[in-house]
Structure 1
Amino acid sequence: MTTVQIDWKNLGFSYVKTDLRYVSRWKDGAWDDGTLTEDNLVHISEGSTALHYGQQCFEGMKAYRCADGSINLFRPDQNAARMHRSCDRLLMPRVPTEKFIDAVRQVVLANEHFIPPYGSGGSLYLRPYVIGVGDNLGVRSAPEFLFSVFCVPVGAYFKGGLAPSNFTTSSFDRAAPHGTGAAKVGGNYAASLLPGHEAKERGFADCIYLDPLTHTKIEEVGAANFFAITRDGRFVTPRSPSILESITKYSLLDIARDRLGMQVEEGDVYIDRLDDYVEAGACGTAAVITPIGGIEHEGRFHVFHSETEVGPITRRLYDELVGIQTGDREAPAGWIVKVR
C-alpha cells in the first residue's frame, strides 16, 4: 500500500498514481469477472480500434468522505446509463449497471486512503472507460474490449474553486450537429484542445462553444455544461442533441425546482441575449460549479453578477449539491450509494 503524503488543502486536478485499478475484458460475446491490478499501464494491440478510429468512451464521477467517516458515491447509476448510451453510439458492448457500480466500489475501497478528508474540499475522482482493443486493421468494431476504472484524489478543477472565472466564445465547433456530441467520447475532447488552449493563452479559463449549426446559441463551457439565472429568477440551461447531458446539470435542475422553488427551463440560450441573465455558471463532475464572471463575444465583454463574487443563487445551488454529495444534507431518493 502506498504511503500517502498529500497536501489535501492544495490538491489540484492532475494525475496521481493510486494503488489499484479495476480491469475487465470482453471477448467472444461476454465480459470476464474483472480484477484489481497494481499495473497502471494499459497493454493493448497496436491494431486496437481505440488507437486508430477513436472507438472509446469514458465517464467521470466522484467518491466523497462524509463527516461520519462513511463514503458516498453520487448517482453512479446515471454514470452507468450514460456510458450505455456512449457504448451504443460507438458500437461497443454495454457494461452492465451492476458490474459498473461494483467495479467502482472495488476501486474506492482498494484506494480508500487516497480519499481526501471530510471538509478539505477534495474528493476521489473516478475514471471508468471502455476501449476497443485486439488485433485489427480495417474500419470496423473491435474484436475485443477493455473496461477499466482508476481513481485520483482531486481538488478544484478550475483554480480558485468556487470563484468566478471568465470565458470567451470560440469559432471552433466542439462536435458536429448530428455527430457524437451527446456521447462522452474522446474525440470530442481532442477537438476542444486547440480552442481551449487559445482561450487560455488570452487569459480566459476556457472557451464557450456555440451550436454548430448557427453559432448563435450557447451549448457548452469547455468540458462542462452551462446554466444561467434570469432576471426574474428562472434556472435556464441549453438543450441540444450535440450537448453531453451532464449528471451534475440535471441534479442542479432538480435542486433548483424542488428545493429552491425555482421555475426551470431547458431550451435555447442565445449568445446575443446575455443581458437577460444575472448569474451564470459551468457545471460538471470535475468542475462541480464554476461561477461565470463574464463572457467575451465578438469584442464585447458581458459581466453577470460579478467578476469577483459568487451570485447568491449559484451559492445556494452549490451548497445544496455539495451538501448532498458529502452527506451533510438529505439526498433525494436513489441519489447516494454508500460504499461503506
Structure 2
Amino acid sequence: MGSGFALSGLQLQPNHLLFSSRNFTTLLPASFTNSRHLPLLKLQNQPSLISSCVQVNSTVSQGTALSDICSTETYELADINWDDLGFGLVPTDYMYVTKCSKNGKFSKGDLQRFGNIELSPSSGVLNYGQGLFEGLKAYRKQDGSILLFRPEENALRMRTGAERMCMPAPTVEQFVEAVKMTVLANKRWVPPPGKGSLYIRPLLMGSGAVLGLAPAPEYTFLIYVSPVGNYFKEGLAPINLVVENEFHRATPGGTGGIKTIGNYASVLKAQSAAKAKGYSDVLYLDSVHKKYLEEVSSCNVFVVKGTTISTPAIKGTILPGITRKSIIDVACNLGFQVEERLVSVDELLDADEVFCTGTAVVVSPVGSITYLGERVSYGKTGVGAVSQQLFSSLTSLQMGLAEDKLGWTVELS
C-alpha cells in the first residue's frame, strides 16, 4: 500500500486532517490549523460546522469506515434573522484562496478564515483593472441538502473572460470543486428553504506587482459567500426602469461580453442618478445606433409580445447570462417562441410584458419604462403572467421543488 489510501471513496494522504459533520466530509492539509486558517474550535456562541477531526497517518487501515473514526453531530443554522435578508454582505466563516504558479497553473488551494486580503499597491487588479468575477447561488432543500445551479457554466464563462483579459484561469473541475468546498464549509449560512439563498462570489485577479502596463506576474482565485434575499427591494414585484440615452455600458470590440470588474464601475453614475429620481435601475442602448436594447446594469432584458419572447442577441457587448440562457431553454420547453436578435426601443415600448434576468434577481418583472421623458406601463395586475410562469419554473428547479430533467443542479449533502 502506498502513502495514500481510500476511505469510503475519499483518498486520504498522511499528515492530512479528516473533518466530518452530519452531511459533510472533507480532507484538508494539517496546515489548516495554523494561525491564518480558521481554528479547529467552535465559534464563540455559535454551533460548529465541523463535528470532529482525526489526524490521518499510516496507521489507519485501508477500508476503515467513517463511522469508526468520526463522530456525528447535528449542525445548526447561523443565528441571524432569515426573514430580514437583503442583498448585502453578511460575513461568513470561510473563504477559498489559491494562487497561480509561474507556469500558469493554480495550486490546490485551501480554506481560510473570511477576512481582508493583502495586495501590493502595484498589483495588476488595482492599477490596471485586471480582474473578473462570477456570481452563482446555493439553495437549501426541504431535506436539508444543498443545491448548486449550473456551476460549470460559471467556470466556463470565467475562462472565456480570462482569455480576453490575458489571465490564467482555474480549470472547470477546479472551479467547481472549489465552489463545493466553500459552500459546504459555510453550510450553516445557507438560508432555510424559501428564505433566500447563499450567494457565491468567485474572484479572479491580478495580484502580482506590475508597474508598466502588462499582465500581472501572479494571480489569485478567491471565493467567498454571503446569505442573501432579494436583489431589488421590491422582491418579485414590478420594477421601474429608465432608458439611458447618453451613457453607454459597452462598445463593440470592448469587454461588455465578459464579467470584468470594470464593466460595473462604468454604470454607477447613470444608475445613481436614476435611483435618485425613483427608478429601480437603468436600461442601456447600443452605442452605435442608440436604438437597440443592450442590458440593464446587472441584468439581461426580455420583451414579450403575444407568445413570442425576444431578447438582445449576444454579439460581444452583452453579458451571456447563465440565468438568461436557462430562461431561454425553460421558455422554449413551455411552448414560447424565443428570438435572440436586435430588439429596438420601439418594440420595447410596444411590448405586452418586459422582464429582466440575472443570478441576483433570477426573474424581475418590469412595471414601467421611461424613455425620453415618456413613461410606458405594463399590465395592471402586478407581476405579468409570463414573468410569473418563468420565475416559478426556474426557481422550482433551483430549489429542488421540481424534477431536474435537464441536469442543471448539483446536489451537495
Measured against the shorter chain, the TM-score band is over 0.9
- Say yes or no: does 1:331 pair with 2:407: no
User: Residue 125 of structure 1 aligns with which residue?
Assistant: 199
1:205 paired residue among 263, 280, 284: 280
Cα shift readout 1:252-305 (whole Å, capped 9, x = no counterpart): 1000001x1111100111112234311111110001111100110001111122
Cα shift readout 1:170-226 (whole Å, capped 9, x = no counterpart): 121111221000000110100011010000011000111111111101111121000
Secondary structure of 1:277 counterpart: coil
**Could you tell me whether the CA contact under 8 Å between 2:294 and 2:312 is conserved in 1?**
yes
In 1, the alpha carbon distance for the partners of 2:114 and 2:379 equals: 47
Aligned-pair Cα RMSD in Å: 1.1
1:257 paired residue among 332, 336, 339: 332
User: Residue 320 of structure 2 aligns with which residue?
Assistant: 245
Larger mean CA deviation between 37-46 and 82-91 belongs to: 37-46
User: Residue 113 of structure 1 aligns with which residue?
Assistant: 188
Q: Which amino acid aligns with 2:270?
A: P
1:158 paired residue among 232, 235, 238: 232
Structure number with higher relative contact order (C-alpha < 8 Å, ≥ 6 residues apart):
1
Q: Alignment identity in percent?
A: 42
Cα shift readout 1:227-249 (whole Å, capped 9, x = no counterpart): 1211x211111113200010001
Equivalence map 1:68-217=2 (5 Å): 68-120=143-195, 122-170=196-244, 171-217=246-292
1:278 paired residue among 349, 352, 368: 352
In 1, the alpha carbon distance for the partners of 2:262 and 2:80 equals: 33
**Could you tell me whether the CA contact under 8 Å between 1:60 and 1:125 is conserved in 2?**
yes
Q: Which amino acid aligns with 2:162?
A: C
**Could you tell me whether the CA contact under 8 Å between 2:147 and 2:411 is conserved in 1?**
yes
In 2, the alpha carbon distance for the partners of 1:39 and 1:117 equals: 22
**Could you tell me whether the CA contact under 8 Å between 2:238 and 2:365 is conserved in 1?**
yes
- Say yes or no: does 1:17 pair with 2:85: no
Cα shift readout 1:122-156 (whole Å, capped 9, x = no counterpart): 00000001000112101001100000000000000
Secondary structure of 1:253 counterpart: helix
5+ residue gaps, structure 2, are 1-41, 47-77
Cα shift readout 1:40-80 (whole Å, capped 9, x = no counterpart): 21112111110010000000000000112111000001000
Secondary structure of 2:257 counterpart: coil
Secondary structure of 1:227 counterpart: strand
Secondary structure of 2:343 counterpart: coil
1:291 paired residue among 357, 365, 372: 365
2:297 paired residue among 222, 246, 265: 222
Q: Which amino acid aligns with 1:153?
A: P
Q: Which amino acid aligns with 2:121?
A: E
Q: Which amino acid aligns with 1:244?
A: L
User: Residue 108 of structure 2 aligns with which residue?
Assistant: 33
**Could you tell me whether the CA contact under 8 Å between 1:274 and 1:302 is conserved in 2?**
no
User: Residue 305 of structure 1 aligns with which residue?
Assistant: 379
Q: CA deviation at 1:39?
A: 4.1
- Say yes or no: does 1:55 pair with 2:125: no
**Could you tell me whether the CA contact under 8 Å between 1:27 and 1:143 is conserved in 2?**
no
The number of aligned residues is 336
User: Residue 31 of structure 2 aligns with which residue?
Assistant: none
In 1, the alpha carbon distance for the partners of 2:153 and 2:97 equals: 21
5+ residue gaps, structure 1, are none
Q: Which amino acid aligns with 1:322?
A: T
Secondary structure of 2:177 counterpart: helix
Secondary structure of 1:31 counterpart: coil
**Could you tell me whether the CA contact under 8 Å between 2:114 and 2:224 is conserved in 1?**
no
Larger mean CA deviation between 330-339 and 43-52 belongs to: 330-339
**Could you tell me whether the CA contact under 8 Å between 2:308 and 2:336 is conserved in 1?**
yes
The structure having more radius of gyration, on CA atoms, is 2
**Could you tell me whether the CA contact under 8 Å between 2:271 and 2:281 is conserved in 1?**
yes
TM-score, normalising length: structure 2 = 0.80
In 1, the alpha carbon distance for the partners of 2:298 and 2:343 equals: 17
Q: Which amino acid aligns with 2:365?
A: P
In 1, the alpha carbon distance for the partners of 2:365 and 2:202 equals: 27
